[in-house]
């Protein structure tokens, strides 16, 4: 079984819809991350969490929110999706030293 899982793997939605992307991990890591990846722009950090009570904004948090429901679960929400949020989204955990483990990604299309 994969150590970091993401659901859904693919999602097509319409502008204005609320979307939640979920991430679960079995690695026992405290640190979890959400990134988006766009062609030519690489991985950009949206939010990160160092434990259940710690949530931090990343480089591009506008239009997104997160919830850390448990050590193993970190979900990303788009409150009102817009087309420029179409991207590949990755959840990741961090072990030591600084090594990240990525989930398989969620391909989101906003029409």
Smallest gap, in angstroms, from Cβ of residue 43 to another protein? 4
* Least distance between another protein and beta carbon 75 (Å): 18
Tell which positions 31-70 bind another protein, by CB under 8 A.
33, 40-43, 45, 48, 56, 58
Using an 8 Å Cβ cutoff, are 87 and 110 in contact? no
Q: How far is the CB of 17 from another protein (least distance, A)?
A: 23
* Contacts of another protein in 67-96 (CB under 8 A): 88, 90, 94
Tokens 């970190």: give the residue. Answer: 74
- For another protein, which is the closer residue by CB, 18 or 61? 61
User: 25 — phi, psi (to 5°)?
Assistant: -140, 150
What CA–CA distance (Å, rounded) separates 49 from 111?
A: 30
The DSSP code for 3 is: S
Q: Which residue in the block uniquely carries the two structure tokens 């259940």?
A: 52
3-state secondary structure of 83: helix
Least spacing, CB of residue 83 vs another protein, in Å: 20
Q: Report the interface residues with another protein, using CB under 8 A.
A: 33, 40-43, 45, 48, 56, 58, 88, 90, 94, 97-105, 107
């Amino acid at each position: 079984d994969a150590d970091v899982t993401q659901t859904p793997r693919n999602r097509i939605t319409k502008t204005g819809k609320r979307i939640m992307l979920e991430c679960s991990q079995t690695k026992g890591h405290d640190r979890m991350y959400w990134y988006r990846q766009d062609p030519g722009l690489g991985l950009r950090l949206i939010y990160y969490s160092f434990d259940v009570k710690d949530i931090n904004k990343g480089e591009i948090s506008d239009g997104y929110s997160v919830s850390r429901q448990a050590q193993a679960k970190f979900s990303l929400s788009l409150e009102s999706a817009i087309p420029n949020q179409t991207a590949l989204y990755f959840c990741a955990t961090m072990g030591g030293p600084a090594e990240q483990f990525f989930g398989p990604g969620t391909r989101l299309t906003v029409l």
